[in-house]
Chain A
Amino acid sequence: MKFALFTGCVAHGATRELMVSTKLAAQALGIEFVEMKSAACCGAGVVSEKSPLLADTLNARTIALAEAQGLDLVTICSTCQGQLKKTECHINGDEEYKKKINHLLSDGGHQYDGRKSRIKHFANILASEEGMRRLKERVVRPLKGLKCAAFYGCYVLRPSELSEFDDPDNPTALEDIFTALGATPVDYPSRTKCCGFPIVMMNKKASLEMAGNALLDAVESGADCVVTGCPLCHLNLDSYQPEIDKLLKKKYAIPILHLPQLVALALGHTPKELEMDKHIVSTTKVNRILASH
């Protein structure tokens, strides 16, 4: 299994532990990731506010890069995944638009085809038949007793017409992965909700309340930790958790893990190697539960 890895920006910035754990998880699973070093930011649905054509052109360029490598493209961020899929859907099926985009790309030596590379979130790969087989085969430390609440991140789920990730209302990819790792998935209504991150700069109170409600829901459903496939969700749920506590007068202290961290834990890596000590909310609770089983 070999993929072109679109890292996104945040995995090189505020959530570097995501990059570290992605590499370790992939290695342990015998999956080869070739990092796309000349791909531009996906625009996070923000560049398209300024210019939809600009965002689509940049993302078409990224997809074209993977196509030229002859590899399927993998993302480690729900937002990146959503944006790249959105561009793909905008262009495929609209020949005129495709011509226009390719005209813009041609001077840089790129050509978007649209059928050569598939765009997948790391979770899609892990939840595939082959991914599951490898997970089950290589788990050395089953995450027994760890109750995990999945937090999908809206961009992989909606609009489902564009994202083609999973059933938007009843996704199971993350929970299937938890089970394969020996952990216990926790069902709770907020798992498909928005964390509020996109408006944290515009309407902080609403943003943090959204994140807080989701955390409360997870805690009340008995979760020991929340696991997300989106570093932006991670920022709101983890980095802002002290402010969320203050705003909602609560004390959640629920650890938030990146999906690859959880996977790599079960594959034998230590929390230290996965830089879980970098999180704002302490993850010792997770270590304790794992040690007690």
Chain B
Amino acid sequence: MATFRIKRYNPEKQPEPYYEDFDLDIPKGATLLDCINLIKWTKDGSLSYRMSCRSAICGSCGMKANGHALLACQRQADSLLDKDGTVTIEPLGNMKPIKDLVVDFKPFWDKVNKVQPYLQTSAEAPVGKERTQSPEQFRLIDDTSTCIMCGNCYSDCNTLEVDDNFLGPAALAKAQRFVCDSRDEKTLERVTELSKPGGIWDCTHCAECVERCPKPAQPFHRIKEIMTVALEEGVHNNNGARHALSFTRSVKASGRLNENQLPVESMGYFNIKGLLELVPVGLRMLLKGKIPPIFHKSIDDVKDVKRIYKELNQ
């Protein structure tokens, strides 16, 4: 006998969410979704959740099990039980619950729309055939095109937990789909927009989106691909780009990071407000003797590092 501890919520009846335990014998090989269906059909018909395909294709059954987003139809219920035979089921995070496990996806879709998820080109459509790509060109967008918009990444994104303004992993992955599309002509405009606050440089590298993504879309990797394009396209006038460039230069110069230079260069030498913000933490560290040596020391054999940079034209 397993216990499904489900977070219930019905604002029409009770303003606060609560947990309800359902005991169930898990049929052999049953997925989490199979079990939730059984609970709905045999124990409480009012339990609300989304589902459709039951085979990890439609992206509707995203929910949290033991605190992490997954597709209920993709995981065996057995594998989710803790040592007491319990699994805790909650709605996806970072979105407002509507009822039980159903959340409001509106902000999610708004953000996907914001990245203009469609091909933009002035080229005439070829008559009688598609706009084709070579296999190499397609490979660059193959992974993102597998996204099923389940919202698992959005649910567990660490930046979104503290900043609603962040576009979030799914929308940014979708943006990569067009930034790296050989047929799209708006690359520069796209990466310029994506480099603004709320875009790529607000991603905190937590990789929760990669961990939770049921497909090869894996947004964090896609976000880094956009960053590389943004830097190549010369969109450098923001802290994220300055940070990446300063960091890379520093390793070229000495083989290691120059911690004194990096914050200043990230803010930009003319960004007085940003530079002033660095003062309190800098002073505190100075007083504790934590400021890195002023005369930055190189690694041994920094020559070889410079050689590699040169060979790669960096």
Closest to B251 in A: A41
Q: A154-B206, A201-B267, A206-B162 are in contact. Are A51 and B314 (CB under 8 A)?
A: yes
- Asked if A243 lies at the interface with its beta carbon under 8 angstroms from chain B, I say yes
Please, how many residues of chain B have a CB less than 8 angstroms from a CB on the other chain?
A: 68
Pick from A50, A155, A198, A278: contact of B245, CB under 8 Å = A50
Per-residue interface assignment for chain B, residues 195 to 223, with 1 indicating a CB less than 8 Å from any chain A CB and 0 otherwise: 00100011111111011000000101000
CB–CB B284/A54 < 8 A: no
Contact B205 A194 (CB under 8 A): yes
Which of A9, A14, A50, A159 interacts with B210 by CB under 8 Å?
A159
B218 touches A201 (CB 8 A): no
Q: List which A24-56 residues lie within 8 A (CB) of chain B.
A: 37-41, 43-54
Segment of A121-129, A140-148, A174-182, A207-215 engaged in the interface with chain B? A207-215
CB of B228 within 8 A of CB of A37, answer no
Q: Do residues A202 and B239 form an inter-chain contact, with CB atoms below 8 A?
A: yes
Whether B251 contacts A210 by the Cβ 8 Å rule is no
List residues of A (191-237) whose CB comes within 8 Å of B's CBs.
Answer: 193-194, 196-199, 201-207, 209-210, 213
User: Which parts of B217-254 form the interface with A (CB within 8 Å)?
Assistant: 218, 220, 224, 227-228, 231, 238-240, 243-245, 247-248, 250-251
Residues of B within 8 A of A37 (CB): 299-300
Counting CB contacts under 8 A, is A98 at the interface? no
B98 within 8 A of A: no
User: In the complex, what distance in Å separates the CA atom of A158 from the CA atom of B292?
Assistant: 29
Known contacts A54-B248, A58-B251, A239-B281; is-contact A41 B256 (Cβ 8 Å): yes
Could you jot down 12 A-B contacts, CB within 8 Å?
A40-B305, A41-B255, A46-B247, A51-B248, A54-B314, A61-B308, A104-B311, A108-B307, A196-B158, A201-B239, A201-B263, A206-B163
Q: Measuring CB to CB, which residues of chain B are less than 8 angstroms from any residue of chain A? A: 66-68, 158-159, 161-163, 166, 197, 201-208, 210-211, 218, 220, 224, 227-228, 231, 238-240, 243-245, 247-248, 250-251, 255-257, 259, 262-263, 266-267, 277, 280-281, 284-285, 288-293, 297, 299-302, 304-305, 307-309, 311-312, 314
**4 residue pairs, one from A and one from B, having the closest CB atoms:** A13-B292, A194-B206, A158-B207, A108-B304
